[in-house]
Chains A and B, each alone.
Chain A
Amino acid sequence: MKMIGKPADAAVIAGIVVFIVLISFQVYANRGEASQVRIDAQGEQWIYSLDADQRVMIPGPLGDTEVVIKDGQVHIPDSPCRNKICVTSGLIHRVGQWLICLPNDVFIRVEGEVPRDQEVDDVAF
C-alpha cells in the first residue's frame, strides 16, 4: 500500500492531541470549585455564585433580609431585625466566613474549595 500523508500531518494531529490532554486536565482534574454563597433560612436554602453580582431578598419571620453580592463580597445592607448585628458585620468573601441574622433566622456562608495556603493556616491555629 502506498503511503498517504505527509510529515506535517503527524505534527498537526500531535498538536491537537496535546491540546485535548491539557484541556482535560484543566476541566476535570484541576477544577477549582468556584466559591459559592449559600444561604439558609427557615429550612430552605439558596445558592448563588460569588462571582456574579446579585441582590436577593430572603424571607424570614420578621420580613425580608436583603443580601447583596458585589465584586466577590457579600453583605447585608438592610434587615428587618432590631439589633442590626448582621448589617454591622460588614463584608465577607473568604471560604468559611459567615454572616448571621439570628432574629430573622438567616444564615449566610461562603463555600468552596479552600486554597492550599489558607488550608495550612487553618490547621495550624
Chain B
Amino acid sequence: MSPSEQYSVRIKDVALLAAFALFLSTIEYVIPKPVPYMRIGLANLSVLIGLTYLNLKEYALLAVLKVLGQGIVHGTLFSYIFLLSAAGSFASALVMLLIYRTASRRISLIGISAAGAFASNLAQILLAGVMLFGSAAWLIAPPFLAAGLIASVVLGIFAEKFSRESLWLKKRRGAAA
C-alpha cells in the first residue's frame, strides 16, 4: 500500500497545499529581488486558500507542514533562519485565522493577506533583533514592513481572484458541503 492511500481525501489535500506552499517558496527563491532579505511571501497563497475551506486542525497541520517542509527543502531546519520562518509563519497563520473567523464578511483575502504578512514581518524583526542584528534591527523595519505590505496586497488580490475562479477549490467546497 502506498503511503498516500492510508489517508482521507481532506488530509491528502493538506499535504497537497503544503507541497503547493513549498513549490511557491521555491519559485520565490529563484526570482531575483532588488533588495536582499526582501520577501514576497508567495507561499502564503497556499495558506490563504487553505483558510477558505480547511477546518481548524487541518489548517494548523498545513501551517506546521509548510514550516517544516521549507526548513528541509531549503536546508535551514537547524538554523536561526528556521526559527525566523517558523515564528513568521505561525504568527501570520494565527492572525489570518482570527480575522477570517471573526470578520470574513467584512474583509476579503486582500486585507487578511496584508494583516498576515504584517504579523509575520513584525515577528521576524523582533526575533532577528534578539538573534542577529541587535537593536539595529529596527533600522531595517520600516522598508521591510512597507515592501511586505505592497507584496501582500498584490498577493491578496491574486488569492481573492484565485479563490473565485479555481475549479479545484469549487470541487473541494462542493465535496465539503
Contact = CB atoms under 8 A, between A and B. Distances in A.
Q: Do A and B come from one complex?
A: yes
Interface of A: 4-13, 16-17, 19-20, 23-24, 26-28
Interface residues of B, number: 22
Given A11-B111, A27-B138, A27-B141, A16 B149 contact: yes
Q: Is the interface of B mostly helix, strand, loop or mixed?
A: helix
B173 to A, nearest CB: 18
B58 interface: no
B10 interface: no
Given A16-B118, A20-B146, A4 B138 contact: no
Interface stretch (B1-9, B15-23, B43-51, B101-109): B101-109
Contacts of B160: 4-5
Contact of A7 (B106, B145, B157, B161): B106
Interface of B: 103, 105-108, 110-111, 114-115, 118, 138-139, 141-142, 145-146, 149, 153, 156-157, 160-161
B142 A24 contact: yes
25 contacts: A4-B110, A4-B160, A5-B111, A5-B160, A6-B106, A6-B108, A7-B106, A9-B108, A9-B110, A9-B111, A10-B111, A11-B111, A12-B107, A12-B114, A13-B149, A13-B153, A16-B114, A16-B145, A19-B118, A20-B149, A23-B138, A23-B142, A24-B142, A26-B138, A27-B142
Given A7-B106, A20-B149, A23-B138, 15 more contacts: A5-B157, A6-B108, A9-B108, A9-B111, A9-B156, A10-B111, A12-B114, A12-B115, A13-B111, A13-B149, A17-B149, A20-B145, A23-B142, A27-B138, A27-B141
